[in-house]
Amino acid sequence: MNTQLAQKVISINFRNAQIPLIVEKALDHFRKFEGKQIFKNNGDLKKKCNIRFNGKHVLETELGKVHASIEAYFQENVGQIQMNINCCISGGSWEAKNNSAFTIYEKKSIYLGQSHPTLELIEPDLDGFEQRFDAKQIEADAALIKAEREKYNKSVAKIDYNFRDIVGVRVV
């Protein structure tokens, strides 16, 4: 299995699992401030509205133990309240013979509603975050695509390059 792909899958799956939980907590926190102004003139949250989420986890994966952390903070962006989520996973070992250490960062921003002139929350669309990925399936799909590309390129090669653009085919 491609180790880099496995690391990325672990990172995305962790992020996708955490985001709905953090969004729910954030919405619960901000509901009590609906209809009120929550940001200072400089764009920072007012002290009574301020909240940060931090979490650290140890995940058991096919790559061994992986340390994962996630944090969320809020800012005003063009009159809307934006939640910025940073996710970091790290694992492996610097001392292993082939240096298996890795760190991957994932970032995502989600809008929670209008913040200007006063707070009006929305339910953000979280449909894409229930998806979990499988590295083996991604590798199998990629191999299939590469094989199909080879067949396609062989077929395209039958048409002289002078005519390919005219008939709308290209080597990929």
- Determine the Cα–Cα distance for residues 126 and 53; give it in Å rounded to an integer: 18
CB 39 within 8 A of CB 76: yes
Q: Which of 73, 135, 144 is nearest to 110 (CA)?
A: 73
- Determine the Cα–Cα distance for residues 27 and 33; give it in Å rounded to an integer: 10
Beta strand pairing call for 53-61 and 80-91: unpaired
The pLDDT of residue 92: 83
- Determine the Cα–Cα distance for residues 156 and 126; give it in Å rounded to an integer: 41
The structure's pTM equals 0.82
Q: What is the pLDDT of residues 92-151, one digit of tens each?
A: 877 767 778 899 999 999 999 998 889 999 999 998 888 899 999 999 999 999 999 999
Mean pLDDT taken over the chain: 91
Q: How many CB atoms lie within 10 A of CB 128?
A: 8
* Domain edges within the chain: 3-130, 134-172
Q: What is the pLDDT of residues 148-158, one digit of tens each?
A: 999 999 999 99
Query: DSSP character for 29?
Result: H
Q: For 44-57, what is the mean pLDDT? A: 89
